[in-house]
Amino acid sequence: MGKFNLYPSISNNIKRTVLNSIKPKSASRLGLFQSVQSKLQTRAFHSSRNVLINFDPYSTLGVEKSASAKDIKKAYYQLVKKYHPDVNKEKDAEKRFHKIQESYELLSDKEKRSQYDQFGAAAFDSNGNANPFAGGNPFGGSHGGNPFGGGAGGNPFGGMGFDFEDLFKQAFNGGAGGRGGGGGQFVTEHVGDNIEVLKTIGFKESIFGTKVEINYKAVDSCNTCKGSGMKKGKKKTTCSTCHGTGQSTHILGGFHMSSTCNSCHGTGVTIPSSDQCTSCKGNGVEEVPKSTSVDLPCGIADGTRLRIPGAGDAPFITKDPYNQTRNGDLIIRVHVSKDPVFTRSNNKIVVNQDIIMTTAALGGEIVVPTIDGQSIKLKLRPGVQNGKTLTIPEKGVPINRNIQNRGDMEVKINVKTLIPETPIQTALLEALADAFDDKNAKRTDAHWKLDLNEDEKDVKETFDEKDLHPSKLNRIGKFLGKFFNMKDEDKK
């Protein structure tokens, strides 16, 4: 396909029209403008080659003669993606790409396709056109004045490597212009920052849920000017620094460098100081105190973050028909304070219960508190060991924030060792050690120690209370009687 250079003035006018129609009024549209401008400057308009075609367009597109217009278009798009010179670097890719475009231009036009089906390539003149002046078109074809002779509908930008129709729909929401133009307007969305606050609650509140009041400060639209930043009846003016482009251009070492305009912050418009709102100083926003009530669900864990959409900061920008604003979110980070009795492990509530070693040895009953406020009596079997875990069902943390579905409560037994504080307690413990044949326990009196010969040190003996030697019982009684007699003498 050759470059369209018969009427360069027409193509230049179209370039200027396209660029002017999307000339940026704000920084948000500058990227689109520069992208289109770059593509227009680096790619020329194309049309059909001005020679008689010497190939079968159906074979080129890989479709049958009975193929529908939809099938032809689908095949064309697939081949274009595959053989576009910017994508395919094969030697004959560009040549094949030109034939694909020429084939589609012919077959997408109903009249040309009909003539080709009847007469083949002979139906066209040396320029590849069926009738050079049909419909008053000085460029050939039958498109009612389409100067580019494209397919049905005639896309004048078909050979530029991108779809202008989709580009304009995206830029102008299907309308015909930007700011101040007819049709849809180009609107930029600005989103404010999120605000995160820390809220501390009690352990019991985290289990059953609670309602909390959150007080914080946030940037919000000015109540005086309703976010416009201007006094009533005033209007914004074009930025005198960037002349409405939103960009400042600097020349560094022969290179043109662009940056966001510092005067208008890329909006292309400013508010004169005399017209600025006295409350917000032309910013359109101000910091205000806010308060909101939040229902924290049951079973919430420490460190959980809850998000309230739209309760955060407003964007730091003035409102106008071309700027759509949306507040950020309020994020509440929950901190659960520690409880002196209860701890949490996933969906379980854990209680550490201390018991005296005599209770652990003999068994007994203990009373355990629950997070519900009730107390539960547990019976312990004799000989319970330190670290033993007892499970109480459905007294734990709500599962999936459902108070009717709760985990278990675990009671961990901590056997507390007795420490003698009086001579009587010491004597009793030593007697207990003697009764259970504890040879490692410390003795305070030499004659109280077990009588073992040197040859009997490695002998282990096992005693039961009922089989204990009477002499040993007598010695225990005598030893304890000495303390009681001493106590009686002190009273005298």
Residues 94, 211 share a domain: no
Residues 350, 412 share a domain: yes
Establish if 70 belongs to a structural domain. Answer: yes
Q: Residues 408-436: what's their mean pLDDT?
A: 89
Q: How confident is the model at residue 474, as a pLDDT? A: 64
Q: How confident is the model at residue 6, as a pLDDT? A: 39
For 74-133, what is each residue's pLDDT tens digit? 888 888 778 777 777 787 877 888 888 888 888 888 888 888 888 776 666 545 555 443
CA distance 398 to 339: 18
Q: How confident is the model at residue 89, as a pLDDT? A: 75
Of 66, 93, 119, which residue sits at a domain end?
119
Residues 361, 327 share a domain: no
Q: 315: domain range?
A: 191-226+281-336
Q: How confident is the model at residue 423, as a pLDDT? A: 87
Residues 351, 316 share a domain: no
DSSP per-residue letters across 262-276: TTTTTSSEE--GGGB
Establish if 162 belongs to a structural domain. Answer: no
Establish if 149 belongs to a structural domain. Answer: no
Residues 278, 282, 284: CA angle, nearest 5 degrees: 105
Residues 86, 71 share a domain: yes
CA distance 58 to 441: 105
Q: How confident is the model at residue 143, as a pLDDT? A: 42
Establish if 88 belongs to a structural domain. Answer: yes
Q: Parallel, antiparallel, or unpaired for β 330-336 and 195-201? A: parallel
**Coil vs helix vs strand at 356:** strand
Residues 368, 319 share a domain: no
**Coil vs helix vs strand at 481:** helix
Please determine, for residue 4, whether its predicted confidence score (pLDDT) is greater than 70: no
Task: Name the token pair of 277.
Answer: 């709102």
Q: How confident is the model at residue 281, as a pLDDT? A: 87
Q: How confident is the model at residue 152, as a pLDDT? A: 40
Specify which of 90-99, 213-222, 252-261, 470-479 reaches the highest per-range mean pLDDT: 213-222
Q: How confident is the model at residue 135, as a pLDDT? A: 39
Q: How confident is the model at residue 131, as a pLDDT? A: 45
CA distance 394 to 406: 5
Residues 306, 198 share a domain: yes
Task: Name the token pair of 424.
Answer: 């009587």
Q: How confident is the model at residue 198, as a pLDDT? A: 95
Residues 410, 308 share a domain: no
Establish if 215 belongs to a structural domain. Answer: yes
Establish if 166 belongs to a structural domain. Answer: no
Residues 403, 366 share a domain: yes
Task: Name the token pair of 350.
Answer: 């854990």
CA distance 142 to 133: 9
CA distance 280 to 314: 13
Of 394, 416, 438, which residue sits at a domain end?
416
Establish if 365 belongs to a structural domain. Answer: yes
Of 72, 50, 53, the residue nearest 116 (C-alpha):
53
Higher pLDDT among residues 287 and 144, named by residue: 287
Of 381, 416, 451, which residue sits at a domain end?
416
Higher pLDDT among residues 181 and 353, named by residue: 353
Of the pLDDT bands very low, low, confident and very high (cuts 50, 70, 90), residue 468 is low
Q: What is the DSSP letter of 3?
A: B
Which range (211-220, 369-378, 403-412, 465-474) has the least confidence?
A: 465-474
Residues 370, 288 share a domain: no
**Coil vs helix vs strand at 344:** strand
CB atoms within 10 A of CB 217: 12
CATH number of the domain encompassing residue 213: 2.60.260.20
Please determine, for residue 296, whether its predicted confidence score (pLDDT) is greater than 90: yes
Higher pLDDT among residues 366 and 5, named by residue: 366
Residues 218, 292 share a domain: yes
CA distance 262 to 241: 9
Q: Helix 93-107 vs helix 69-83: angle between axes, to the nearest 10 degrees?
A: 160
Q: Exposed, middle or buried, 148 (CB in 10 Å: 0-12/13-18/19+)?
A: buried
Establish if 92 belongs to a structural domain. Answer: yes
Instruction: Quote the number of domains for the chain.
Output: 3
For 442-464, what is each residue's pLDDT tens digit? 887 644 444 445 555 555 555 55
Residues 323, 212 share a domain: yes
Q: What is the DSSP letter of 315?
A: P
Residue 320 dihedral angles phi and psi, to the nearest 5°: -160, 175
The chain-wide mean pLDDT, for the chain, equals: 75
The answer to whether 392 and 379 have CB atoms below 8 angstroms apart is no
CATH number of the domain encompassing residue 90: 1.10.287.110
Residues 373, 375, 380: CA angle, nearest 5 degrees: 150
